[in-house]
């Protein structure tokens, strides 16, 4: 029984009985106690470790809404607008024009073997390029000898070069929704719908879901999370085919795997009877670092993709209402089945009509099958208003708000999709806090980068990419934001008794920071360096660049 | 690749690469899509169908008819296949196309909120498929109410407008069948077929595969098929005008025609409901007689006889 006491500049525990400490004792991967060195002496012999004496220790961050694809995308070059860190700690600079994207891809292309293999890139986002879109000619400049496919950051749109279009047989005569045409009626190079995209992938020989969820991707995801101080993260929508389950089991069996991973089963991928049986079977394989327990239902699309389901008055720019992925009656059917079976259900709702439908589905499920402490959680709930939060509170629901949107798409929401009023109040952390709805905040990686301190910074400062403040009244304090990325997120995953705070008996999962989030200026919160993490008592230092 | 030529829609033994007709059955939850599919799968249509559905649980297939049940695919003793769609329709469909079985027709059940027109787009992109029809099943009892529901009204309207052919189902349950029919005709341009328990003639859904032979009265009592033959070239505009004009009553048409403006090549006419496709096929071989078969409501035949 080996006990190690770690000293720190300061420990923020999230335990109200003792919010701050200087020392934490760890035994058998768990927290034996926190306090002063004097208060810990009573536990008997220990080894004192001062390596974190200059650091600040927090509970390991909990990312309640991410996707393990984040680990897979890094096999391919990143061509996004904003800087981004890869699993090995290297920083890719953001590309500020289509010409820069083309130049970066040309340089990458020259390093590839001359075998006609596909060049796939990801993270592209043209919203700050003054309306200019990427076209066929741009990517033909990269290569016409191999397929070139560029996936946009929203994962809903892609661009490809002429060889891909030729092989897929997409021409000016292809009158299919999602094949964008230019003013001459020729395909522009952009494909927007699943059907068209899938054909391009096939023409390019890309099996995206396989590429993004193998063993290497699983490890990549854990590493990129670790770099951000995350010790527990969800893969919040997965059909869980055997190959993915095998990759998760193998990776998480290693004590060097630096993450507790929670995949959420995609409820719509099979009938509830089969799904419940499958999930119960999978739960038997649960371990310290892998938990099958969550269920996900995706109701609508995205706000920036103009596919969210909106209540009146709808989109600010007059775009028609979005689409249901799973419609109101089906939401009831799926939710009730998993609710009855005792599972916690996470429901993706971006638009406020989707939130309304989901809340009412929970209300009906509870009337049919009363159940305490279900913690069904609205994921995103970006447009939820005070009335909806009141109903969520009354029903025992949680919310996981997408505060990163305020920065990445806030300007677009203000000007185009939602208009000023609804953009100001979106991702309403202040309202959730005030009304007592348990909530977390999230990144939805790889849609935006995983980084809970950045996500907390968004909740605290509510700044857009161009520097506009959205919703003074919805700002929350740094302390509340830190709660949301630790214990608050753990609560939405039903892990709050096991982790999320530094308290006796909990897992020794820590985020180890260079500076004190409560001492720096709130606007600097995102800039605090992350030394690494501890997971179950094992130390994982982040590589530094 | 990058072949612009429109693909022929008719299967013939000399052309093994002929694409498989692809039909999408849309309609809101509860409209009767599964009942209709159940009938097709278990009825003796003589065709090897593959039906892609959302959930086996909703199907009601006699156990004796099941030849093999392999997870997400059921093989029936009549040669039909039934697959669950799972997470990705496109992937399921491509897997199906890799199977060794010769299929005569592929039918997809769209989810209750899907736009079936978008699903039919698949056949425009996949050379092994030929877009057949988008058939939208409508529940006579509740469609008007659904259409004004603030949550699903726009979804229902999108489906109605995407239809090539509307099946007004559960007509026996409608309080005022005429009123529903009139309302529906005002919402969408597709012809309307009334049905109970999804009982519509298979030929209406799957086409008229025996060109040139006709069996008046052989179909359900309200439907008849009718065939035309012309030995000389046919005027394109006149024929298309006739089809367009009658498209509320002629529900399906299929033909190989020698048009006067393209007399050396076979033109293929394929019509499902309001949608008329004309495509160029190869040169005429031997018999140069134009043939056209129509299926429609009994009432229309009087009109055709006048022509």
Map out the domains of chain A as residue ranges: 69-210, 223-238+250-501
d(Cα B65, Cα B74) in Å, to the nearest integer? 10
A97-107 as b/e, with b when 16 or more CB fall inside 10 Å?
ebeebbebbee
Q: Are A61 and A452 in contact (CB under 8 A)?
A: yes
Q: Measured between alpha carbons, how far is B37 from B226 in angstroms, rounded to an integer?
A: 26
| Region(s) of chain B under CATH 3.30.1220.10 | 223-306
For B217-261, how does the pLDDT look when each residue is reduced to its tens digit (9 = 90+)?
A: 444 556 777 777 888 888 888 888 888 877 667 788 888 898 989
Chain B's closest residue to A271, CA to CA, is B55
What ipTM was assigned to the predicted interfaces of this complex?
0.86
Upper half-sphere CA count for residue A275 (Cβ side, 13 Å)? 30
Q: How far apart (Å, rounded) are the C-alpha atoms in residues B200 and B35?
A: 11
List chain B residues with CB under 8 Å of A273.
57
CATH of domain A69-210: 3.10.310.70
Residues of B in contact with A311 (CB under 8 A): 150
Per-residue model confidence (pLDDT) at position B17: 67
Q: DSSP letter for A436, please.
A: T
Q: Name the one residue in this structure whose structure tokens are 């509830």.
A: A272
CA distance B278 to B237: 12
A154 versus B184: the higher-pLDDT residue is B184
pLDDT digits (tens, 9 = 90+) for B58-99: 777 777 788 888 878 888 888 889 998 887 888 889 889 988
Per-residue pLDDT tens for A496-536?
999 999 999 999 999 999 999 999 999 999 999 999 999 99
Task: Tell me which chain B residues have a C-beta less than 8 angstroms from the C-beta of A298.
Answer: none
Q: How far B169 CA lies from chain A's nearest CA (Å)?
A: 20
Alpha helices in A284-341 (DSSP H): 328-340
Residues of chain A with C-beta less than 8 angstroms from the C-beta of B113: 323-327, 330
- Do strands A510-513 and A56-59 pair parallel, antiparallel, or not at all (unpaired)? antiparallel
Concatenated DSSP letters for A478-516? HHHHHHHTTHHHHHHTT-TTTSSS--TTSB--EEEESS-
Average pLDDT taken over every residue of chain B: 81
Q: Which residues pair with A3 in a beta bridge?
A: A27
Helix, strand or coil, per DSSP, at residue A43: helix
**A193 interaction partners in chain B (CB closer than 8 Å):** 118, 121
Smallest Cβ–Cβ distance between A194 and the set B90, B112, B152 belongs to B90
Percentage, residues of chain A above pLDDT 70? 100
Task: Note whether B87 and A269 are within 8 A (CB).
Answer: yes
Backbone φ/ψ region at A205: left (φ over 0), alpha (ψ -120 to 50), beta: left
What top-level class would CATH report for the domain B223-306? alpha beta
The region of weakest confidence among A61-65, B30-34, B163-167, B247-251 is B247-251
Asked if A6 contacts A36 with a C-beta cutoff of 8 angstroms, the reply is no
Q: What is the pLDDT of residue A100?
A: 97
Q: Is the CATH code 3.20.20.140 the one for domain A223-238+250-501? A: yes
Band of pLDDT at residue B207, cut at 50, 70 and 90: low
Instruction: Check if A360 contacts B (Cβ < 8 Å).
Output: no
N-terminal to C-terminal alpha carbon distance within chain A: 37
Retrieve residue A510's tokens: 């820590």
Q: Write down the pLDDT at residue B221.
A: 57
Q: Where are the beta strands (DSSP E) in A125-276?
A: 148-152, 158-160, 179-181, 187-191, 230-238, 260-266
* Mutate which: A195, A266, A296, vs B, most B CBs within 10 A: A195
Average pLDDT over residues B185-190: 91
pLDDT digits (tens, 9 = 90+) for A252-297: 999 999 999 999 999 988 889 999 999 999 999 999 999 999 999 9
Are the Cβ atoms of A199 and B84 closer than 8 angstroms? no
- pLDDT tens track of chain A, all 545 residues? 699 999 999 999 999 999 999 999 999 999 999 999 999 999 999 999 999 999 999 999 999 999 999 999 999 999 999 999 999 999 999 999 999 999 999 999 999 999 999 999 999 988 888 889 999 999 999 999 999 999 998 888 999 999 999 999 999 988 888 899 999 999 999 998 777 888 899 899 888 877 888 899 999 999 999 999 999 999 999 999 999 999 999 999 999 999 999 999 999 888 899 999 999 999 999 999 999 999 999 999 999 888 999 999 999 999 999 999 999 999 999 999 999 999 999 999 999 999 999 999 999 999 999 999 999 999 999 999 999 999 999 999 999 999 999 999 999 999 999 999 999 999 999 999 999 999 999 999 999 999 999 999 999 999 999 999 999 999 999 999 999 999 999 999 999 999 999 999 999 999 999 999 999 999 999 999 999 999 999 999 998 76
What is the per-residue pLDDT for B248? 65
Numbered ranges of CATH 3.40.50.300 in chain B: 20-206
Nearest to residue A296, comparing CAs of A212, A225, A342, A239? Answer: A239
How far is it, in rounded angstroms, from Cα B17 to Cα B28? 35
3-state SS of A404-426 is: HHHHHCHHHHHHHHCCHHHHHCC
Across the A:B interface, residue pairs with CB atoms under 8 Å apart total: 86
Strands of the sheet containing A148-152, edge to edge, are A119-124, A148-152, A158-160, A187-191, A179-181
A176 interface with B at CB cutoff 8 Å: yes
Is CATH 3.20.20.110 what the domain over B20-206 is classified as, yes or no? no
Predicted pLDDT at A155: 81
Report residue A12 CA to chain centroid gap: 24
Indicate the residue of A170, A270, A311 with minimum beta-carbon distance to B86: A270
Report pLDDT for B204.
78
């Amino acid at each position: 029984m080996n006990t190690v006491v770690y000293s720190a500049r300061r420990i923020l525990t999230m335990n109200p009985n003792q919010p701050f400490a200087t020392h934490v004792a760890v035994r058998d991967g768990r927290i034996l106690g926190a306090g002063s060195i004097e208060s810990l002496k009573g536990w008997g012999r220990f080894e004192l470790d001062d390596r974190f004496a200059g650091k600040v220790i927090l509970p390991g961050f909990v990312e309640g809404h991410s996707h393990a694809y984040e680990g897979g995308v890094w096999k391919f070059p990143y061509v996004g607008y904003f800087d981004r860190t890869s699993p090995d700690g290297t920083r890719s600079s953001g590309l500020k024009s289509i010409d820069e994207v083309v130049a970066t891809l040309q340089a990458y292309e020259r390093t590839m073997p001359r075998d006609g293999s596909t060049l796939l890139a990801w993270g592209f986002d043209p919203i700050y390029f003054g309306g200019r879109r990427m076209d066929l000619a741009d990517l033909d400049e990269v290569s016409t000898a191999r397929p070139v496919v560029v996936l946009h950051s929203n994962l809903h749109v892609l661009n490809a070069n002429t060889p891909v279009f030729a092989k897929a047989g997409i021409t000016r005569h292809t009158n299919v929704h999602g094949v964008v045409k230019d003013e001459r009626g020729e395909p522009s190079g952009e494909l927007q719908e699943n059907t068209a995209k899938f054909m391009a992938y096939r023409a390019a020989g890309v099996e995206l879901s396989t590429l993004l969820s193998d063993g290497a991707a699983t490890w990549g995801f854990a590493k990129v999370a670790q770099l951000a101080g995350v010790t527990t993260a969800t893969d919040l929508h997965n059909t869980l085919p055997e190959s993915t389950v095998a990759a998760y089991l193998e990776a998480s069996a290693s004590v060097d795997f630096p993450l507790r991973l929670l995949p959420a089963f995609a409820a719509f991928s099979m009938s509830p009877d089969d799904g419940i049986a499958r999930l119960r079977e999978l739960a038997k394989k649960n371990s310290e670092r892998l938990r099958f327990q969550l269920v996900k239902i995706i109701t609508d699309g995205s706000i920036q993709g103009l596919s969210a389901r909106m209540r009146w008055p709808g989109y600010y720019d007059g775009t028609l209402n979005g689409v249901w992925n799973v419609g109101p009656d089906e939401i009831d059917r799926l939710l009730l089945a998993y609710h009855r079976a005792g599972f916690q259900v996470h429901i993706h709702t971006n638009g406020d009509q989707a939130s309304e439908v989901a809340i009412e589905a929970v209300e009906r499920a509870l009337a049919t099958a009363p159940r305490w402490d279900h913690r069904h959680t609205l994921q995103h709930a970006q447009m939820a208003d005070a009335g909806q939060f009141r109903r969520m509170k009354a029903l025992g629901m949680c919310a996981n708000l997408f505060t990163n949107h305020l920065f990445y798409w806030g300007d677009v929401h203000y000007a185009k999709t939602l208009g000023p009023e609804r953009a100001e109040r979106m991702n309403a952390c202040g309202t959730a806090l005030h009304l007592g709805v348990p909530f977390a905040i999230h990144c939805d990686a790889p849609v935006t980068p995983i980084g809970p301190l950045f996500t907390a910074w968004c909740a605290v400062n509510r700044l857009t990419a161009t520097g506009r403040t959205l919703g003074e009244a919805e700002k929350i304090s740094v302390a509340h934001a830190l709660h949301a990325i630790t214990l608050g997120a753990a609560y939405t995953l039903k892990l709050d008794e096991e982790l999320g705070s530094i308290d006796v008996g909990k897992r020794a999962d820590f985020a180890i920071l260079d500076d004190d989030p409560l001492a720096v200026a709130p606007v600097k919160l995102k800039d605090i360096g992350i030394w690494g993490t501890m997971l179950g008592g094992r130390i994982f230092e982040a590589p530094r660049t | 690749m990058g072949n612009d030529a429109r693909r022929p829609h008719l299967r013939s033994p000399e052309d093994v690469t002929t694409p498989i007709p692809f039909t999408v059955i849309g309609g809101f939850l509860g409209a009767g899509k599964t009942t209709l599919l159940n009938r097709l799968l278990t009825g003796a249509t003589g065709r090897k169908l593959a039906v892609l559905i959302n959930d086996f649980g909703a199907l009601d297939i006699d156990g004796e008819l099941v030849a093999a049940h392999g997870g997400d695919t059921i093989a029936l003793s009549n040669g039909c296949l039934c697959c669950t769609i799972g997470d990705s329709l496109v992937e399921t469909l491509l897997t199906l196309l890799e199977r060794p079985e010769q299929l005569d027709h592929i039918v997809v059940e769209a989810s209750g909120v899907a736009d079936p027109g978008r699903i039919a787009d698949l056949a425009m992109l996949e050379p092994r498929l030929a877009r057949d029809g988008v058939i939208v099943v409508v529940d006579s009892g509740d469609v008007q109410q659904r259409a004004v529901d603030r949550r699903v009204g726009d979804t229902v309207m999108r489906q109605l407008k995407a239809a090539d052919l509307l099946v007004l189902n559960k007509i026996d349950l409608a309080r005022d069948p005429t009123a529903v029919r009139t309302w529906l005709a005002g919402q969408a341009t597709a012809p309307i077929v009334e049905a109970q328990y999804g009982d519509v003639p298979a030929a209406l859904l799957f086409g008229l595969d025996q060109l040139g032979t006709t069996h008046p009265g052989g179909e359900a009592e309200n439907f008849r098929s009718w065939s035309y033959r012309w030995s000389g070239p046919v005027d394109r505009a006149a024929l298309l005008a006739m089809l367009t004009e009658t498209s509320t009553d002629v529900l399906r048409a299929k033909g190989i025609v020698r048009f006067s403006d393209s007399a050396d090549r076979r033109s293929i006419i394929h019509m499902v409901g309001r949608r008329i496709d004309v495509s160029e096929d190869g040169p005429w071989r031997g018999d140069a007689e134009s043939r056209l078969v129509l299926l429609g409501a009994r009432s229309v035949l009087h009109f055709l006889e006048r022509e």
